Structure 1
């Protein structure tokens, strides 16, 4: 199957500008149109492993990233994210193009994909079992996810744990992993071979840089996994490592409150979360040293039957 990286940049640029490209990412087909040159350049680099759809099947999202037409476009150029031709939020500075695209896709998935249970969690896989890492912003989820992905785990997603209600399987959605501020240099040092894109300064989350998904994770993005472990991570500066079992009742509450659409799915989500928590070992993790956390998780997941 033809991938974005198989296209010469000039061909990619003209196609995604004038006609849009149908791009497959996990279970979704995205029609993407971009008329911002810098955004196209970085997208060709960072999305190079994603396959292009050769069929005329239904698209899940029609997305555009366009230069804002406001009167400020010459002095302070802006960029606008559109879905089905409408802007769901205000434009951002033009040099924040890649973060805006990623945040916009998050919005599309969270608002429209209610046929799936959507957990706010990083998910990685090994030997057919998924390690699910639900966490609030600022708890070190993305940093830990990026380190795991470069330590023998397959990336499912950093932002969404997508659960299929009919069988409880987790669906891969291997997208860019956003690192913030100090975490960027932490991962550069930990995983020198990681492909980290440009840094975007002054965003609403500070400085952002993205880790490109490993090739294998994208090539295997149709291989599901069954839940294996729930680990609720939290980075605390200077704290000793603490990996402790959690009560199932506490884990259930934390999974439910970390879901994007728990209330929308009602009884389905109640039963699904209950079954997942019952089937998984559940732990809390407090860490300050990344290597210590990885070692503890590796021991936990290798010794659990």
Structure 2
């Protein structure tokens, strides 16, 4: 059963009760909330995701709940809970969707050590994965949103899940997180994209989510083999430029953007080494999305 088949009233009831259990491949997450507007947001962003069976193993039990403390409740605050424990400082309830997304990211980054976890956008074309590791503010998510709606299959906007045995990279096709100026930019560039409401005054500025394309959600169980590592940077008023870099440079950037590289020791070193050895590695600067898409189209066509 897909989430949209539950209906909004059914979803609200489940969230207030035992929770709704989403298959965010390769994880199962049970979500609870007593916030009606968060139910609306979840319905909009996750409508095409499957629900897990009631007896399915759940990887992460999370909740976004109104703060029980009178002062926080008076201020309209909500809290993120993981495994029955409050995990973060309360935030305005209007930021509940962002809190849920960041909280799930934290759960995965802190606990899913069966993978080498890379802070990267990952997209697929023709069975080949494009891996774009980058720090916040690089334009990674903006570029990811554009590519995901122009012929590339979205695996992840934030978390690349590298299987260290097979070398395949997995994704979840969860919503794309945009910030500040990238929100109106993508609204104008992708009028067909489905946005959440903008959430101002977060720790990251104004944020909004973009729902993953339906075909990406339908294929989210399919991993891909890395073929390109591209280090993106947005710079104002520069022509798009894709320049080859040494594999050692790509290795260092991947290691710096990994959440658990140090934890895996030699196994992590070998896994990243195999990844860069089998990939073309580039640095990419851009300011205009149409120019950027043309470069990536050429990159994909050159591999066909």
Q: CA deviation at 1:260?
A: 0.8
- Counterparts of 2:261 and 2:73, CA distance in 1: 44
Mean Cα displacement is larger for which, 135-144 or 8-17?
A: 8-17
Aligned partners of 2:230, 2:177: CA distance in 1, in Å? 20
CA–CA distance in structure 1, aligned partners of residues 104 and 212 of structure 2: 16
The corresponding residue for 2:255 is 256
Determine helix, strand or coil for the equivalent of 1:90. Answer: coil
Deviations 1:12-44 (A, max 9, x none): 110121111211012000111111111112111
- Report Cα offsets for 1:63-96 as digits up to 9, x if no partner: 1110001122453110000000112211101111
Unpaired runs of 5+ residues, structure 1, are: none
Instruction: Note the residue ranges of structure 2 that are not aligned, 5 or more in a row.
Output: none
Measured after TM superposition, the shift of residue 266 of structure 1 is 0.8
- Report 1:1-305 matches (<5 A): 2-54=1-53, 56-304=55-303
How far does the alpha carbon of each residue in 1:101-150 deviate from its partner, in whole angstroms, 9 at most, with x for none? 00100110000001100011000001110011111100000000000001
TM-score, normalization by structure 1: 0.97
- Displacement of 1:304 in angstroms is 2.8
Cα distance between partner residues in 1 of 2:300 and 2:79: 43
Q: CA deviation at 1:55?
A: 5.0
Moved over 2 A (4+): none
Q: Given the two structures, how large is their TM-score scaled by the length of structure 2?
A: 0.98
Separation in structure 2 between the aligned mates of residue 145 and residue 74 of structure 1, nearest angstrom:
37
Counterpart-to-counterpart distance in 2, 1:70 and 1:55: 32
SS in 2 for 1:303: helix
Aligned residues: 304
Distance 2:44 2:118 in 1: 28
Secondary structure of 2:71's partner? coil
Determine the C-alpha separation between the residues in 1 that align with 2:296 and 2:68: 49
Further displaced range: 6-15 or 95-104: 6-15
CA distance in 1, matches of 2:97, 2:197: 10
More off after superposition, 235-244 vs 143-152: 235-244
- 1:151-209 residue CA offsets vs partner (Å, 9 max, x unmatched): 01111000011011110111121111011111111111111101111011111111111
Counterpart-to-counterpart distance in 1, 2:55 and 2:205: 40
What is the alpha-carbon distance in structure 1 between the residues aligned to residue 127 and residue 260 of structure 2?
Answer: 25
Name the SS of the counterpart of 1:132 in structure 2.
strand
RMSD over aligned Cα, in angstroms?
A: 1.0
CA distance in 2, matches of 1:290, 1:45: 26
- Any idea what SS the aligned residue of 1:234 has? strand
Alignment partners' CA distance in 2, 1:74 and 1:14:
22
Instruction: Give secondary structure in 2 for the equivalent of 1:72.
Output: helix
- Aligned mates of 2:48, 2:117 — CA distance in 1: 24
What CA distance in whole angstroms lies between the structure 1 residues aligned with 2:279 and 2:46? 33
